[in-house]
Structure 1
Amino acid sequence: MGINRRSFLARARQAGLGVALTGSLQGLVGAPASAAQPPAGFTGYGPLVDDPTGRLALPEGFSYRVVTEAGKTRLYSTDLSPGIHDGAAAFRAPDGNLLVVLNHEVRDGPSDDGAVPHLPGYTWRDDAGGGCTVVKTTPDGELIWETVALAGTSTNCAGGVTPWGTWLACEETEDDGHGYVFEVDPVDLEANRDPQPITALGRFPHEACCIDPDTLDIYLTEDATDPFGTVYRWTPPATFRGASGALKQLDAGAGELAAMACTDTDGTLVDDLDQADEPGTAYTVGWVPVTNRAAENGVLRSLDGITRAAKLEGAWWADDGAYLVSSYADSHRGQIWHYSPAEATLTLTTVFAVDADGETVEAPDNIVAAPYGGLIVSTDGDGDNHLAGITSAGTAYPLARNQMGSEFTGPTFSPDGRVLFAGIQKPGVLFAITGPWQGPGAAGRTDQRSAAGTSDRRGDRFVTSWRCLSVPRP
């Protein structure tokens, strides 16, 4: 079904920033009932002010600091910081500081620009240059140190936080035996030794994931073509208990991996989510079991009778369901969907248009809840790329514009809600953004049961594990 461009853009201009919305978005981010909301009529922080240094345009009153920068800041090992930044998550350190897990989407080998150094004991394979670092900062986002937590993986795009306070890093590739999910513990660095893929979650171009904190079901997006990717659900075995390192201990066939299959009101299979253009469109969801998780005989998404979409991207658990991003296609410039497991429905909540109100926001990628209510979306479009906010009332506003000519990546708030970390992918810069946030501010939180912010669960074990970490000098 095509979109009437004139009505589509008219609908977009009403919302601003090229986003067409329906209904309230407070449920979209599952804001805690006790959290303050922005004042009535809040529409954003005003126009973006160009940065004379050519990095980030921010609203008046906001500022940023550079936390890490590829080739300029250094790791604990004295190697230069790696680049090609992507997904990230912020956790609370036991000593009151912050820990940011940062993916590096390096597609080639260890000699590639921006590659993660192969730290002995933390490297999976010798042929790959991707991985994750852990960045420790002060509560204000000032760099303390950065170290390798995972190396020797490939194309580490996004991922997701776990209810037990770790990060799942996804390989967005299925080439050369790659295409897995790995777990990174930001607090107990020793737990990251001897990295092993979580084979139970299948081998395919993983993009992002989110976890139902009640059932521990994991929902995974697949960014792929020929054919397009799909959404998978992994249901754990009855004996599974979430804990750091537990996933990689499972057998390859543990639990059930299944692919999404949507049907419309007539009971007809929806083969491509692209056909929906009206917010509020809802489908009934079933799941088709995957019997060949390692994809030895072809790609997983070649299953018959499943639903696919172009560029499935970010995932976030909120409002008792999984919010899933489809970045863009011929008939739209991005969608956000909500899957409700209780109702077995997939509902289109947001459709992105092309341009409006002086800023162009398209091709949403990573998504994260804002502690003051609403949603923050990073974009990877053809023009200027943004961090865009969506209020709980359903209006959109600009938060940042990238002036460095690459995509925005990995927005994530500090657990107290005061600092928004976000990256520029190339060459690789991690920023800490602060300003006059409207809402709970320092009292806010973004953990919402399944998000980062629970990593102080092990008391002072982080200090012990850091002192024991062996980092060879160059």
Structure 2
Amino acid sequence: MERRSFLKVSVAGAAAAAFGGASWSNAFSANAAPGDGPYGPLLPADGNGLALPHGFTGRVIARSLETVADTSYRWHMAPDGGACFADGDGWIYVSNSEVPFIGGAGAVRFGPDGSIVDAYRILDGTDVNCAGGKTPWNTWLSCEEVDKGEVYETDPFGVNDAIVRPAMGRFKHEACAVDPDRQVIYLTEDVGDGGFYRFTPATWPALSAGTLEIMVGPADQTSGAVTWAQVPDPSADDEDTRHQVEGSKPFDGGEGCFYANGTCWFTTKGDNRVWAYDAAASTISLTYDDDTPLSGVDNVTGASSGDLFVAEDGDNMEICVITPDGVVAPFVRVEGHDESEITGPAFSPDGTRLYFSSQRGTGGEVISPGMTFEVTGPFRS
């Protein structure tokens, strides 16, 4: 995509085109359980600490506080949520920085052969930018994970200034996912009694104004019909958004969020669950409710095959695959990063490369430099 095409592309059918249409249609009809994954067992870790299945290779593309190869950009601390965007014959990977007060986000541009050709800043001066979401019109929604945090719409191509979107609510944002079929955006909230929200723009796809709603249902409900109610004051000037609607359904630490073909999957770290919201039926169900092999559920993304890839915050530092037929298995393990978390999983536009970060790397401290990886191999389609 040309840089000047920012916010000028058609969004109709974008999710179906990106994620394989029918591959998702009947996915995850029952709780997923451990089993033999589609890629086989993990081999011993390589020189970068990546334990991968046969046929896959990995490399480090960036390290916090170090200049990205062949560029002048110093990679940010605490790399977190991320996404990939097509860029002509190449692509771009964007990454948040979960650092207090300076936060923001950066990007790496790749050429058609996978070589790094540029890296640059796309957002500055924000606070604890955790996860976010990619839009079908090729912007990155970067979310602040602080009380009364906001959503910033940013330009992955580095041309347009970021714009704050207060109509999307002020709360401890984690991630969001765009549903172009219903023209809404789902949002998670990372607190112990966090809400699950949807934002309906007044004029699609402009995010400057609209209606913020919160899911309503019993606190202990894990399946069945749910409803939505409007949040009276998205600015939360007098009361937190999650407490403004009687009967709003609490979720224990909302984390990653991903939409494809009528379903929005989201994770809750406090109870280690992967949820599925059926947008057409307005029902919820559990895709994963266990503690092995996937523990510390966090960021989530999907492949064109219909597989979900869920990253761990802690545990043994794995990204696990959940297949449409309900098998959960490790796909990659990052060894020697015991006090870190895996963040920002995202596939390149052609689906052959998976990007993610170890937020704190091997140092084990909150401010330890992070590492961002690329895994290449025969991902199924």
The TM-score with structure 2 as length reference comes to 0.84
Task: Tell me the CA shift for residue 337 of structure 1.
Answer: 1.6
Gaps of 5+ in 1: 1-26, 36-40, 108-127, 263-269, 277-281, 441-474
Which residue number corresponds to residue 258 of structure 2? 316
Which residue number corresponds to residue 221 of structure 1? 188
**What is the aligned counterpart of 1:32 among 9, 21, 30?**
21
Task: Tell me the CA shift for residue 291 of structure 1.
Answer: 1.2
SS in 2 for 1:301: helix
Deviation by residue 1:393-437 (Cα, 9 ceiling, x = unmatched): 221222111112211111111111111111111122111101233
2:204 maps to 1:241: yes
**What is the aligned counterpart of 1:99 among 92, 99, 112?**
92
Q: Are 2:268 and 2:274, in contact at CA under 8 Å, matched by a contact in 1?
A: yes
Task: Tell me the CA shift for residue 104 of structure 1.
Answer: 0.9
Which residue number corresponds to residue 224 of structure 2? 283
Give the Cα separation in 2 of the matches to 1:261 and 1:75. Answer: 48
CA 399–166 in structure 1, closer or farther in 2 if over 3 Å, else same: same
Alignment of structure 1 residues 269-418 onto 2, 5 Å: 270-272=218-220, 276=222, 282-303=223-244, 304-329=246-271, 334-353=272-291, 355=292, 360-381=293-314, 383-403=315-335, 404-405=337-338, 406-418=340-352
RMSD of aligned alpha carbons:
2.3
Q: Are 1:160 and 1:210, in contact at CA under 8 Å, matched by a contact in 2?
A: yes
2:378 maps to 1:436: yes
2:165 maps to 1:198: yes
Which residue number corresponds to residue 211 of structure 2? 256
Q: Are 1:69 and 1:428, in contact at CA under 8 Å, matched by a contact in 2?
A: yes
Task: Tell me the CA shift for residue 190 of structure 1.
Answer: 2.1
Q: Percent identity?
A: 37
**Which aligned runs of 4 or more in structure 1 are off by greater than 4 angstroms?**
none
Give the Cα separation in 1 of the matches to 2:377 and 2:258. Answer: 24
Task: Tell me the CA shift for residue 328 of structure 1.
Answer: 3.1
More strand by proportion, 1 or 2? 2
Which residue number corresponds to residue 353 of structure 2? 419
**What is the aligned counterpart of 1:82 among 76, 83, 87?**
76
SS in 2 for 1:221: strand
Which residue number corresponds to residue 443 of structure 1? none
The TM-score with structure 1 as length reference comes to 0.68
2:175 maps to 1:208: yes
Residue identity in the other structure for 1:425: Q
Deviation by residue 1:10-55 (Cα, 9 ceiling, x = unmatched): xxxxxxxxxxxxxxxxx9x9633489xxxxx973323222325352
Between the two structures, name the one with larger relative contact order (CA 8 Å, sep ≥ 6).
1
**What is the aligned counterpart of 1:134 among 107, 122, 133?**
107
Deviation by residue 1:361-408 (Cα, 9 ceiling, x = unmatched): 212111111223311111113x21101112222212221111122111
Matched pairs, number: 344
SS in 2 for 1:190: coil
Give the Cα separation in 2 of the matches to 1:50 and 1:298. Answer: 51
Give the Cα separation in 1 of the matches to 2:75 and 2:307. Answer: 33
Give the stretch that moved more between structures: 41-50 or 82-91. 41-50
SS in 2 for 1:163: coil
Give 1 or 2 for the bigger CA radius of gyration: 1
Task: Tell me the CA shift for residue 77 of structure 1.
Answer: 7.9
More helix by proportion, 1 or 2? 1
Which residue number corresponds to residue 230 of structure 1? 195
SS in 2 for 1:152: coil
Which residue number corresponds to residue 183 of structure 1? 153
Q: Are 2:19 and 2:303, in contact at CA under 8 Å, matched by a contact in 1?
A: no
Task: Tell me the CA shift for residue 74 of structure 1.
Answer: 3.8
Residue identity in the other structure for 1:259: I
2:109 maps to 1:173: no
Residue identity in the other structure for 1:373: G
Which residue number corresponds to residue 366 of structure 2? none
Give the stretch that moved more between structures: 135-144 or 163-172. 135-144
